[in-house]
Amino acid sequence: MKRVGIGRAPKAPVTPRALQRVGAVLGLPVGLVTVWWFASAGSTDFYFPPLSRILAAFRDTWFGARLRDDVLPSLARLGTGYAIALVVGIAVGVAIGSSRSLRALVEPVLEFLRAIPPPVLVPIVILVAGIGDTMKVLVIASGCVWPILLNTVEGVRSVDEVLADTCRAYGIRGAARLRHLVLRAASPRIVTGARQALSIAIILMVISEMFAASSGLGFTVVQFQRGFAIPEMWSGVLLLGLMGVALSLAFRLFESRVLRWYHGVRATERADAR
């Protein structure tokens, strides 16, 4: 039985329950870091230095000119490549998803292209686009576009028939239909694709800088590795991990806004099923 809840729920106070949830989220990471600290404290292994040294290297390496010269350009390339993948993936995905004949025509080729691991394409992209920023942005975009495109196609295909008939009956066509029906109905799938693409984007950001680069976060980490600056290398790995977490959290925040209706519908369905 659907409940008749109208309007927004009141804000809950900070309860022991909320603190418990924060504890659940942070508990394991804090625990693991603590274990790492104490387990590695007396380490003399060259390749696995104590955590204290890694953190010291972190502080010395990444706050300063490196932030401006390496980290920010890498993030900018990441953002640009991801944005291109979003635009191209959604546009092409909507076109393919809307036309059965086009989909039948294109699907085998898409499956083939999608299966090629992006790192394998990097030398080819270098031949085409050189070794500058364009190459890196292209590599990131070419890897990210596939989950977005394929998920968009699925999302567009799964638009509810009754809703589509409603739009036809009320004369909602063209751009209005695209905006109010197709894109909104497909948005849960598109967001799933975008989330997968984000993970791929971070990986490709590093890989694109491994082959031929002169600056960047991935380039710096690889340089440290080749120069046997091990604590600095580990600090770079740590930074990449933290960056991934930060981006993921930002994405979750964005998703909770855009898909608020979807989470509401799913919660109602789960409640009804009980």
Q: Which residues contact other proteins (rule: CB under 8 A)? A: 1-7, 160-163, 165-166, 168-173, 176, 180-181, 184, 187, 261-262, 264-265, 268
Extended beta strands in the chain, E state? none
User: In whole angstroms, how close is the CB of 87 to other proteins at the nearest point?
Assistant: 21
CB atoms within 10 A of CB 53: 16
Smaller CB separation from other proteins, 5 or 117: 5
Smaller CB separation from other proteins, 7 or 117: 7
**Distance of alpha carbon 158 from the chain centroid:** 23
Q: What is the dihedral of CA 257, 263, 265, 267, to 10 degrees?
A: -140
Smaller CB separation from other proteins, 45 or 161: 161
User: In whole angstroms, how close is the CB of 241 to other proteins at the nearest point?
Assistant: 34
Under 8 Å between Cβ of 190 and 156 = no
Smaller CB separation from other proteins, 50 or 155: 155
Q: Burial of 20 by CB count in 10 Å (0-12 exposed, 13-18 middle, 19+ buried)?
A: exposed
Rounded Cα distance, 167 and 152, in Å: 20
Smaller CB separation from other proteins, 156 or 239: 156
- Crossing angle of helices 230-258 and 183-211, in 10° steps, is 170
User: In whole angstroms, how close is the CB of 271 to other proteins at the nearest point?
Assistant: 10
Smaller CB separation from other proteins, 77 or 189: 189
**Distance of alpha carbon 21 from the chain centroid:** 24
**Distance of alpha carbon 84 from the chain centroid:** 14
User: Tokens at residue 67, please?
Assistant: 């932030």
CB atoms within 10 A of CB 132: 12
DSSP 3-state assignment of 48?
Answer: coil
Smaller CB separation from other proteins, 55 or 259: 259
Report how far apart, in Å, the C-alpha atoms of 17 and of each of 8, 13, 22 are.
21, 10, 9
